[in-house]
Amino acid sequence: FGGDQARARAELEKLALYAGEGGQLEVEDIEALIGDVTQAALDRFSICTANGQGRDALRQLDRLSAAGQSPQGAMSALARHFERLHRVCAAVEAGNDLKTALGRIRPPLHFRQRDALEAQARRWSARQCARAIHLATRATERARLNPELERALAERLIITLASR
């Protein structure tokens, strides 16, 4: 929350109320309760897709849509995810250690993103990532030209990438 101490305090109070006395919260609880969770949901969507979990990615797309996120936005997030993954894969293919390549990502990765990207870097090549970026970018462009098809284009993209 940056320097907004009042907002930070209010969010902490909300968490304390939700947890109750002596209660515990999971990361998902915190994400659901605090601020803008759209980025976390986009991350989960992208991770599911790149992990080959098409069914879960489609469920995440449903959740994003219910929260007001457009399929175009989800496809753009997917392209950004694969751009990061491409940088890691290309660095590894150039002879760098995977941990070093992950450590060079800016902004730094959240620990859950780091674990996911590490596993995905073992599953995807730089060439495959470049193809995924191309497909996601193309699907996003087509959705902008044909908004009535954006959901179908997003679903097709998910199925194509997750089944890779």
Q: How far apart are CA 91 and CA 65, in angstroms?
A: 34
pLDDT tens-digit map of 74-83 = 999 999 999 9
Q: Is the pTM of this model over 0.85?
A: no
36-162: what CATH class?
A: mainly alpha
Quote the mean pLDDT of the chain.
Answer: 90
Q: How far apart are CA 95 and CA 103, in angstroms?
A: 15
DSSP labels for 40-70?
Answer: HHHHHHHHHHHTT-HHHHHHHHHHHHHTT--
Sorted by where each begins, the domain ranges of the chain are 1-35, 36-162
Tokens of 130: 């470049």
**Residue at token pair 């941990």:** 99
